[in-house]
Structure 1
Amino acid sequence: MIKVYSPASIGNINVGFDTLGVSLSRIDGGILGDFITISNSKKFQLINTGLFYNDLPKNKYENIIFNCWIKFCDNIGKRIPVKIILEKNIPVASGLGSSACSIVACLKAINLFFDNPLNDLALIKLMGELEGFLSGKIHYDNIVPCLLGGMKLILIINKNNVIIQDLPIFKNWFWVIAYPGIKLSTFNSRKVLPKLYKKEILIKQNQYLAGFINAIYTKNEFLAAKLMKDFIAEPYRKLLIQNFDKISYTAKKLGALSYGISGSGPTIFSIFNNLNIAYNMVNWLKKNYLKNKTGFVHICKINNIGTKIMENK
């Protein structure tokens, strides 16, 4: 039996659309990720559990876990039945890398269960392919930090060559994440983006990304935070998030270093270097952003481990 845990993540981080991502852990030690358990079986079985299992398709053939098994078996050239238990603890379509959580945990566990027939790069490419199956476009900004932990810069060269760079990040940063309890699919969030951008916008975004990377390497946290701006997606996606400008104003007023949309939303994040101030933001968000009992607000730090093998026996 193999049991694997994969953590939640934030893609884009404002300044790095489809390029930057971070992996998260709650500072209170609570679960913020999905578990996959795989064992022998005479036929394929998929059991869904966890806080958000009701979000998953009832038909197993529509479940991304079933598709992970099919794609993996196609890659190794044989279809071997297994029993898979998915403990779904990240809400679907939340902007916290929910699909990446399940895909990464499942493929990591299956590969390990079959004695690692796929190398790391082949596994990452397969994960990206399955992520693209759900969102409409292959992107690795959730997949890679979810698998490897930390903050990652991911570049795709000629569609076949994935370059992964580990980036330093400020250890004193506290990441406040708030999921309101409503869904916003990545596919729909991508549809609101324009097909064409003005050259000036793209140049500006590139300048900010280059400046941000330089700032984190030179340990200039205030410059890094100042450069965490999104000129590509936020101007359009914020219209899908109720009171986004009011939330941003409040975060800034409370002392946030930076704030923005987590991935494609509706989860939002804000960054603080003072824990007491971060709790002030938590309290405000609980009163003003959550829509129902499934919503939550957590203070997180960067998860430097990524996907973790919990059991192997």
Structure 2
Amino acid sequence: MSDDKMKQSILRAYAPASIGNVSLGFDLLGAALKPIDGSLLGDEVDIEIADTYSLVVKGRFADKLPADPSSNIVTRCYQHFIAVLEQQGHAKSTIPALKMTLHKHLPIGSGLGSSASSIVAALHGLNQFFAEHFGKVPLNDNELLLVMGELEGQISGSVHYDNVAPCFLGGLTLMAEHKGQVALQLPVFENWYWVSCYSGISVSTAAARDILPKQVSMVDTIKFGRQLAVFTDALYRKDENLAAAMMCDVIAEPYRKSLLPRFDESRTFAEQHGALAFGISGSGPTVFAVCDNLENAKIINQWLADNYIQNDTGFSHICQLDMSGASVSHS
């Protein structure tokens, strides 16, 4: 794209919500979500050339973020990316200033990968924008994931990829955390529906980690490893029943569920109405139920909307996995 067209164009990057852990894979599994009704469940970032850098924040949950743009993670993404470009040898005079607009659609502390969505949208958008400007992608996917994890760690307190990886790559991802391969995309069951309900309360990742024990028993460690190994094998062999049977959290849920009002009641209802699995999305308070047919998903979705949601900021969606991950468009 020519510089004149770039000056007139706005690049919009979108990054979907995600489920971290997926119950059985603490810090190691993540899944990207896409509501089946076509509604937006993820953050967007607009990028356009400007005279000086600026950040505007809009959207339903904009007022939950710091008022000072310099404190916003999107600004940190921009600063980090500019530093990368300079390290690659691009002169400051060749790097245009940008106006960025964050459309904050995901609630903070929801367990839906809210910060990851903003980070992925910002960095993926910047990578694509400067690819068009310089004629070459500054960072490959793996390099980009490493940066995403680093910036996510600035918010959550530790580097982990179970939200940024599915959010960026799409689908269901397993964290390898190897320098040359941060995450692996796994096979999925396309007929599974993922009912995801945010109660409206906020649970910080730091608080949800503090409630966990500092050590895990040998019994639970062996069970955790067995479940993750069998689940991965079952995905490749397309054994739905065995995969679903492994989706039980022995690491975090026994402790974190105390932070979530009506969790046990919600699980019981979901299981009695055909859910293959039920668990906490990331650190919570969002919960998810996996169903293999739409009718059961509708029943569970309506019950959660009526009973699990605590206030008017909560919501519930019937989703399938977003296989595309982060995307960009122009206007």
State TM-score, norm by structure 2: 0.91
Which residue of structure 1 aligns with residue 283 of structure 2?
264
Which residue of structure 2 aligns with residue 290 of structure 1?
309
SS at match of 1:113: helix
8 A contact 1:94–1:267 mirrored in 2 = yes
8 A contact 1:10–1:22 mirrored in 2 = yes
Which residue of structure 2 aligns with residue 151 of structure 1?
172
Partner deviation per Cα, 1:131-178 (whole Å, 9 max, x = no partner)? 000001111111111111111111124xx4444222111111110000
1:49 aligns with 2:58: yes
> Paired residues, what number?
310
- Once residues 97 and 155 of structure 2 are traced to their aligned partners in structure 1, the CA distance between those partners, rounded to angstroms, is 24
SS at match of 1:114: helix
Within-5 A mapping of 1:59-70? 59-70=68-79
Which residue of structure 1 aligns with residue 211 of structure 2?
192
Partner deviation per Cα, 1:287-311 (whole Å, 9 max, x = no partner)? 1111111110100001111111121
- Once residues 199 and 249 of structure 1 are traced to their aligned partners in structure 2, the CA distance between those partners, rounded to angstroms, is 28
1:83 aligns with 2:102: no
Which residue of structure 2 aligns with residue 228 of structure 1?
247
8 A contact 1:134–1:187 mirrored in 2 = no
Which residue of structure 2 aligns with residue 167 of structure 1?
186
Runs of 4+ in structure 1 over 4 Å off: none
Segment drifting more, 252-261 vs 162-171: 162-171
Q: Compared with structure 1, are the counterparts of its residues 162 and 132 closer, same or farther at alpha carbon in structure 2 (3 Å cutoff)?
A: farther
SS at match of 2:183: strand
Q: Which has the larger radius of gyration?
A: 2
Q: Alignment partner for residue 96 of structure 1, among 94, 112, 123?
A: 112
8 A contact 1:73–1:80 mirrored in 2 = no
By how many angstroms is 1:81 displaced?
A: 2.6
Which residue of structure 2 aligns with residue 219 of structure 1?
238
1:210 aligns with 2:229: yes
Partner deviation per Cα, 1:77-136 (whole Å, 9 max, x = no partner)? 257531000111111110111111100010011122222222222211110000000001
- Once residues 208 and 52 of structure 1 are traced to their aligned partners in structure 2, the CA distance between those partners, rounded to angstroms, is 36
Letter in 2 for 1:274: N
Which residue of structure 2 aligns with residue 245 of structure 1?
264
Which residue of structure 2 aligns with residue 113 of structure 1?
129
- Once residues 138 and 277 of structure 2 are traced to their aligned partners in structure 1, the CA distance between those partners, rounded to angstroms, is 42
8 A contact 2:145–2:182 mirrored in 1 = no
State TM-score, norm by structure 1: 0.96
Partner deviation per Cα, 1:21-72 (whole Å, 9 max, x = no partner)? 1111100011111111111111111111112111111111211111111111
Gap runs ≥5 in structure 1: none
1:137 aligns with 2:158: yes
- Once residues 58 and 191 of structure 1 are traced to their aligned partners in structure 2, the CA distance between those partners, rounded to angstroms, is 27
